Amino acid sequence: MGARLHHGYDALLADPDVHAVYIATPHPTHADLAIRAASAGKHILCEKPLAMNAAEATRMVDAARLHDVFLMEAFMYRVHPQTRRLVELLRSGAIGEPRLVQAGFGYWKPFDASARHFSPDLGGGGILDVGGYCTSMSRLVAGIAQGLPFLEPEEVQGAARFGRSGVDEIAVATLRFPGGFLAQLSAGISLAQENAVRIYGTEGQVEVVSPWFCSGKQGGRASLLVRDLRRLDGPCEEIVVETEDWLYAIQADAAAISIASREVAWPGMRWDDSLGNMRCLDAWRAAISPVGSRVPRQSSAGA
């Protein structure tokens, strides 16, 4: 089927031949568009962050539940084979009991006052743009450490460097979870970072070299590096994960397969996981100043 053009969102949502929509608009529009789509009976794949805050995300989930449609937050790395292999590795006890995760996602973008990245009104800043990757990974690993799908932090501390437009251009956070599991996170839009994940356990360490884009947008090779921390000079084992599938095609397929059950297969982002991740992002933003004072931003979206 070829491309079909619609004169606006209302026309698209009224089209009976449209069964699902992918929302990839700026952050502040996610809640309104998702609720409208759910009301029209359309299934939804929505870009991260799911919303501007947990209150908006809750209304989105309520609308999806009310109208019995699928809703999935598009953290593409969570449905990639590399992440599933990481889960298997941690569950097997390969590094003992996980105790600490270090996760970073930062890139350099030249300042542009008109760009959404630097606009407070468009949800600019590192935390909302890429910090959710780090919080979702840390919550995933903390959960695995306790035999759960994910875990919520008991405490979130943060600091940030603000740019001329007032958004958090570089932000860091320390998370403390039940059981003493810790996470060190870093996100930013004006500083290129290593963009890696390291998980330390009582008997070893696993490094995810490319945690977010995995095998790449076009498919290919990904790897996990496992070290025995009890031997500083010990060998490093490389676990290779290969796929011919495109990163975003894997995500689209996961959504399509999951529509029938209305729930994506774990470790994909399910509703309670996405809501917890938004609460964690709210706490991170509240822990930094002055952005924290603007976290409870209200939306006109309603179910």
Would you place residue 301 in the very low, low, confident or very high pLDDT band (cuts 50, 70, 90)?
very low
Q: Which of 145, 168, 135, 127 is closest to 27 using CA atoms?
A: 127
What is the rounded CA–CA span in Å between residue 32 and residue 46?
A: 12
DSSP single-letter state for residue 191: S
DSSP single-letter state for residue 17: T
Would you place residue 229 in the very low, low, confident or very high pLDDT band (cuts 50, 70, 90)?
low
pLDDT tens-digit map of 16-42:
999 999 999 999 999 999 999 999 999
Q: What angle do CA 191, 138, 258 make, to 5 degrees?
A: 105
**Residue 1 pLDDT exceeds 80:** no
Which pair of structure tokens corresponds to residue 97?
A: 């009991």
pLDDT tens-digit map of 83-121:
999 999 999 999 999 999 999 999 999 999 999 999 999
- Mean pLDDT, rounded, of the chain: 92
Q: What is residue 31's predicted lDDT score, i.e. its pLDDT?
A: 98
Half-sphere exposure at residue 81, Cβ-oriented, CA atoms within 13 angstroms:
17
pLDDT tens-digit map of 3-21:
889 999 999 999 999 999 9
Would you place residue 299 in the very low, low, confident or very high pLDDT band (cuts 50, 70, 90)?
very low
Pairing state between β 43-47 and 220-227: unpaired
**Biggest alpha carbon distance in the chain?**
63
Question: Environment class of residue 192 by beta-carbon count within 10 Å: exposed (0-12), middle (13-18) or buried (19+)?
Answer: exposed
**Residue 213 pLDDT exceeds 60:** yes
Half-sphere exposure at residue 167, Cβ-oriented, CA atoms within 13 angstroms:
24
**Residue 151 pLDDT exceeds 90:** yes
Q: How many residues does the chain have?
A: 303
Q: Domain locations in the chain?
A: 9-75+253-270+278-294, 80-251
Q: What is residue 231's predicted lDDT score, i.e. its pLDDT?
A: 59
Question: If residue 238 lies in a helix (H) or strand (E), which one and from where to where?
Answer: strand 236-243
Q: What is residue 223's predicted lDDT score, i.e. its pLDDT?
A: 81
Would you place residue 234 in the very low, low, confident or very high pLDDT band (cuts 50, 70, 90)?
low
Q: What is residue 221's predicted lDDT score, i.e. its pLDDT?
A: 82
The CATH superfamily holding the domain 9-75+253-270+278-294 is NAD(P)-binding Rossmann-like Domain (3.40.50.720)
Q: What is residue 295's predicted lDDT score, i.e. its pLDDT?
A: 46
Give the global pTM.
Answer: 0.93
State which CATH number among 3.40.50.300, 1.20.120.80, 3.30.360.10, 3.30.560.10 fits the domain covering 80-251: 3.30.360.10
Do residues 173 and 63 touch, judged by C-beta distance below 8 A? Answer: no
Would you place residue 220 in the very low, low, confident or very high pLDDT band (cuts 50, 70, 90)?
confident
Which pair of structure tokens corresponds to residue 63?
A: 């609308």
